[in-house]
Amino acid sequence: MANREQDQLLTSTLLNQIAPLEMKARQIVEGFISGLHKSPFYGFSVEFAEHRPYNPGDEIRHIDWKVYAKSERYYIKQYEEETNLRCHILLDVSSSMLFKYYADWSKLRYAIHMAAALSYMLHRQRDAVGLIPFDTKPITTIPPKSSYTHLRYIYSQMEKYLEDEKNKSPEQRRTASADVIHEIAERIGRRSLVIILSDLFENTAENEELASALKHLKHKKHEVIMFHLLEKRSERELDLPDRRFVFQDLETGSEIDVLPRQVKKDYKAKMDQYVKDFRHMCGNAHIDFQEIDTESSFEHSLIAYLNKRRRMM
């Protein structure tokens, strides 16, 4: 009875207040894996080599359905083993990521917890994970390693940004995602999984360059997952109270006086088109693009995505 009462007291809110990133990540990931018995990232640690005919007893998930569509014969994809998966997590820590209006968490806090859970999952399956916080440039580069000590070091670095958020650091950090991604694409040598967590808020004139940077990663044969974090009601739909607002650009400090209902229709149309175009570009480039609403439950968003990945494998 006592244990059950204690479990009920360990709510997500309480854990967020008293637990380090590792405990939160472990709580989510262990629960997810215990239900699946396998990782949604299975298969990234190998390189495709050749096909061979299907034999009874082979796992169906290895059948190449594109080949079947052309030949109406079953062939199995064979792989050459490499080392364990290497994952680089690119974390946008620019000032726009500090925004929240309706949500309990800022985009930065949400992204950090997402990165922590994914790092723990990768570590649990003995893969190597690294971290690259960035704004206009990579702030630091923590190369992928698989040790527990290394995982704790990554958490300690991410927790520093949580402290900056808590202390409302006045430093204004702009974003230059395209430049950073181009640099990382050139810097990463061997095929890796690259996870990017960002609100993609930067000069819209740079959209084509950002798309080019992501394609650069794919050209280098990296797997790419893009998490696009927005507070949907306020940032995507401009669903705000009917009064005047002074909007401040968190990255430059510039301000503009706005009555939301006067610009809401045009704003929403442009935002919808922006996201639609970006999603279309990612689809064409075989980049996994995932929209995250920071008002939604962190646990539900993460588990929904991991289940989606599992179905794709």
Which pLDDT value is given to residue 289? 94
pLDDT at 87 over 90: yes
Q: What is the pLDDT of residue 216?
A: 94
203: left (phi over 0), alpha (psi -120 to 50) or beta: beta
What integer pLDDT is reported at residue 36 of this predicted model?
45
In this structure, which amino acid lies at residue 261? R
Tell me which of 3-12, 31-40, 92-101, 243-252 is least confident: 3-12
Q: Please name the helix (run of DSSP H) or strand (run of DSSP E) that holds residue 268, with its range, or none.
A: helix 260-284
Range with the lowest mean pLDDT among 16-30, 182-196, 220-234, 261-275? 16-30
Q: What does the alpha-carbon distance between residue 293 and residue 32 come to, in Å, rounded to a whole number?
A: 20
Q: Which among 32, 49, 22 is positioned nearest to 309, based on CA atoms?
A: 32
Q: Rounded to the nearest 5 degrees, what angle is found at the Cα of 235, between the Cα atoms of 229 and 239?
A: 135
Per residue in 129-155, pLDDT (tens digit) is 999 999 999 999 999 999 989 999 999
Q: What is the CATH number of domain 86-312?
A: 3.40.50.410
Q: Domain locations in the chain?
A: 47-81, 86-312
Out of 149-158, 168-177, 199-208, the most confident range is 149-158
Residue with tokens 């990945």: 309
Are the C-beta atoms of 134 and 180 separated by less than 8 Å? Answer: yes
Q: What pLDDT does 207 receive? A: 73
3-class secondary structure, 33:
helix
* 3 state SS of 59: coil
